[in-house]
A = this chain, B = another copy of it.
Amino acid sequence: MKKIIFLSIAIFLCSTLVTAQELANFVNNKPVISPEISGNEVIFRIKVPKARDVKLYGSWMANYTDRQDLIEKENGIWEVILPTPDPEIYTYHFIVDGVAMSDANNILMQRDGTRYLSMLLVDGTRSANYKEAEKRGNLTKVWYDSPTLKMNRRMYVYTPYNYEKGKQKYPVLYLLHGGGGDEDAWSNMGRACQILDNLIEQGKAKPMIVVMPNGNPGQQAAKPLMLAENTFDYRDPSTANLYIHSLAKDIVPFIEKNYRVIPKPDSRAVSGLSMGGGHTMNIANNYPGMFGYIAPMSMGIREGQDIDNQLKALKKAGYKLYWLACGDADFAYPGAKLLHEALDRNGLTHTFHVTGGGHTWSNWRDYLNTLAPMLFK
Which positions in A face B, CB cutoff 8 Å?
A: 3-12, 14-19, 21-27, 47-53, 57, 59, 64-65, 91, 93, 95-102, 104, 107-109, 112-117, 121, 131-132, 134, 136-143, 152, 154, 161, 164, 178-181, 223-227, 235, 237-238, 240-241, 258, 274-275, 278-279, 281-282, 286, 298-302, 305-307, 310, 331-332, 335, 358-361
Which of chain B's residues have a CB closer than 8 A to the CB of A139?
140-141
A306 contacts B3, C-beta separation under 8 Å? yes
A99 contacts B102, C-beta separation under 8 Å? no
Among candidates B9, B17, B18, residue contacting A237 with C-beta atoms closer than 8 Å? B9
A226 contacts B331, C-beta separation under 8 Å? no
A241 contacts B4, C-beta separation under 8 Å? yes
Q: How far is the CA of A70 from the CA of B102 in the complex (A)?
A: 21
B358 contacts A21, C-beta separation under 8 Å? yes
B138 contacts A142, C-beta separation under 8 Å? yes
Mind listing 7 A-B residue pairs with CB under 8 Å?
A3-B310, A10-B301, A14-B359, A17-B359, A102-B104, A107-B224, A136-B154
B141 contacts A138, C-beta separation under 8 Å? yes
Q: How far is the CA of A27 from the CA of B115 in the complex (A)?
A: 9
Which of chain B's residues have a CB closer than 8 A to the CB of A108?
224, 226
A101 contacts B101, C-beta separation under 8 Å? yes
A332 contacts B5, C-beta separation under 8 Å? no
Q: How far is the CA of A143 from the CA of B162 in the complex (A)?
A: 10
B116 contacts A109, C-beta separation under 8 Å? yes
Q: Which of A10, A50, A134, A137 has most B Cβ within 10 Å?
A: A10
A240 contacts B48, C-beta separation under 8 Å? no
B306 contacts A47, C-beta separation under 8 Å? no
B23 contacts A99, C-beta separation under 8 Å? no
A235 contacts B15, C-beta separation under 8 Å? yes
Among candidates B23, B65, B96, B180, residue contacting A115 with C-beta atoms closer than 8 Å? B23
Among candidates B26, B59, B302, residue contacting A22 with C-beta atoms closer than 8 Å? B59
B112 contacts A22, C-beta separation under 8 Å? yes
Task: Determine how close the nearest CB of chain B comes to the CB of A47; give it in whole angstroms.
Answer: 7
CB nearest to A238 among chain B residues: B5
A282 contacts B18, C-beta separation under 8 Å? no
